[in-house]
Structure 1
């Protein structure tokens, strides 16, 4: 007679598991419980001092995306770079935010993120003071060039003269170059 056994059924009387000796079986047919060793208390990991601020900033990543997108459309800087800078602004805002003031976090965080991006653009921007309208025209012209517009057609599409476009390109192409200090 062939009998099908299941892993979940107890072994039939008189049989034992592989590696188990019948002499070691408990008189009731059950295995004795394993001896309990006292476990050392688990150390709890200390929370990061700014964990709450970081969580608050992470809840508003959509705000960083929106702000970075607005600046990316108006400048030649990549969206990803501006997003990281906006997140830094949100982190700074979350560290300084006081919820007892009655003011919601979003406007507060928006101010810091905008300011952080403005500082970044100022520090990585032009060596000379260029009017914002020129910077916007330059960014729009660079975008048209990346899209495949012929360089001769760019001033016409921007609604300016070729001479003005040349002047804008010259003004916006001067950047700061950091030289190592002489030793």
Structure 2
């Protein structure tokens, strides 16, 4: 995936809270498209191997959540976390993490991830098909900057993390916003 590439058109099957529904599960299905999430906004999208996994839950997601105000100051409208997990899992993880700023996008079937060229087999961990770890700055549905962890492959014995970290994206935004020297 390179800068200047338009994101694939996909429909995501989400579950949203609906106060009109009574009982222990007050949620309804709501389909959202790529355009619903990305049109007319400058966002950070980061994708990771799985909800509730160590690196994702300890560093990457909390880092973006805690850095939200700073990213807003740098011209970012929204921050989205995507994983090849269904909406039930993503919503529970968001609740578990106490998210107030980062929004989760469930790519349950992996369609978006596959079309991004980032779907990998993680059978070596018992995960099945999952996303390779990456992040992107996306402006109105077009990739502005791309941050992919090294070693993209099926059944990777490692879980590289650093290129797609919140700190690395902040650094990129700072450098992109520096005035040119005369």
The TM-score by the shorter chain falls in which range? under 0.3
More strand by share: 2
Bigger RCO of structures 1 and 2 (CA < 8 A, at least 6 apart): 2
Q: Name whichever structure is richer in helix by fraction.
A: 1
TM-score (norm 1): 0.24
Give me the TM-score of the superposition, normalised by structure 2: 0.24
